[in-house]
Structure 1
Amino acid sequence: MIEITETDALSRVAAYCSTAEHCRAEVTEKLQRWGIPYDAIDRIINRLEQEKYIDEERFCRAFIHDKYRFAKWGKIKIGQALQLKKIPQSVFYRYLNEIDEDEYLAVLDNLLAVKRKSVHAENEYELNNKLVRFALSRGFEMKDIRHCITLSDENDELE
């Protein structure tokens, strides 16, 4: 195994952080895999934070935006993923609540409408149960799921 110096590790990780947003936990894990001593990891992480290569709040905003817009995750699933990345709830909670409520419900409604077409159910009750389980697995809250399913049921009756 090739020995990596602290300076070399710092420059490699700085390059890694400059290509995309990364959190403290991701960078620490990478340095640990490289076999960097813990005291050196602390120095490297602190330097990266001072030079703004790592910024937990900026990471949260980007992560929430990407998971919500592109992966179509709900707030619960995004929050759990951020906790797995060792981001404190006090840091990410504010950004989760900045998501526009109407846009959030539109994303959920669209997800449910697409899923509704591919779900096989014997009756409306079974269909709605399957849709609820699907939306819960995507990390959406029950109150929002009920809101969207009720709306789509009302729209079906109007047609």
Structure 2
Amino acid sequence: MEYKKKKKEISVASALSKAMFICSRQEKCSYDIRKKLNDWEISSDDQDQIIQTLVEEKFLNEERYTNFYARDKFRFNRWGRIKIAHHLKQKQISEHLILDAIDQFDENEYNQNLHDILFSKIKTTKEKDPYQLRAKLFRFAQGRGFESQLSLKIINELISDTN
């Protein structure tokens, strides 16, 4: 026999209060909050009203969220522009906000970041064949969301330096 835990009914006021608490603890976007409200089985109209209130009260700000998200994923996760943009699109962030956030990256720091992660990858890779090594490094850079041309340029520099 299966037992399903019955969800507690949650009022709109309580949902708003919980959402405010969540937003005060960590930067969120409206997509994240809408998912939570769906989990709490809040009606669509009430969801819209709660999100509107959160925006008016400055608990939610898509631009602020996008800038924090992009900066954190770049600095701490060492992701490239493509991966960051893809993840933000999945959260239904507008294209212009994504581009604004990504344009704030310092180009030298961005290139150095890719250089550093590829250099670390070379040290841990046992591949001897230079073509296989290039392919492995390229796939690694692509998985991290870095642009193809930049990846190839830095890979070629690193491989020519090690030979």
TM-score, L = length of structure 2: 0.93
Select which of 72, 81, 89 maps to 2:95: 89
Cα offset for 1:150? Answer: 2.1
RMSD: 1.0
Aligned residues: 157
Cα offset for 1:148? Answer: 1.1
Supply the distance in 2 between the matched residues of 1:102 and 1:151 (Cα, whole angstroms).
16
Supply the distance in 1 between the matched residues of 2:123 and 2:62 (Cα, whole angstroms).
39
1:65 aligns with 2:71: yes
Select which of 43, 49, 56 maps to 2:49: 43
Identity fraction in percent: 35
Residue equivalent to 1:108:
114
Supply the distance in 1 between the matched residues of 2:128 and 2:113 (Cα, whole angstroms).
26
1:24-61: CA deviations, max 9, x gaps?
00000100100111111000000000011000000000
Cα offset for 1:72? Answer: 0.6
Any runs of at least 4 consecutive aligned residues in structure 1 with deviations exceeding 3 A, and if so which?
none
1:147 aligns with 2:120: no
Supply the distance in 2 between the matched residues of 1:122 and 1:150 (Cα, whole angstroms).
15
Amino acid at match of 1:112: L
Supply the distance in 2 between the matched residues of 1:156 and 1:93 (Cα, whole angstroms).
35
Cα offset for 1:101? Answer: 0.6
Q: Which moved more, 1:36-45 or 1:143-152?
A: 143-152
Cα offset for 1:94? Answer: 1.3
Residue equivalent to 2:4:
none
Amino acid at match of 1:38: S
TM-score, L = length of structure 1: 0.95
Supply the distance in 2 between the matched residues of 1:2 and 1:90 (Cα, whole angstroms).
39
Supply the distance in 2 between the matched residues of 1:100 and 1:144 (Cα, whole angstroms).
15
Unaligned runs of 5+ in 2: 1-6
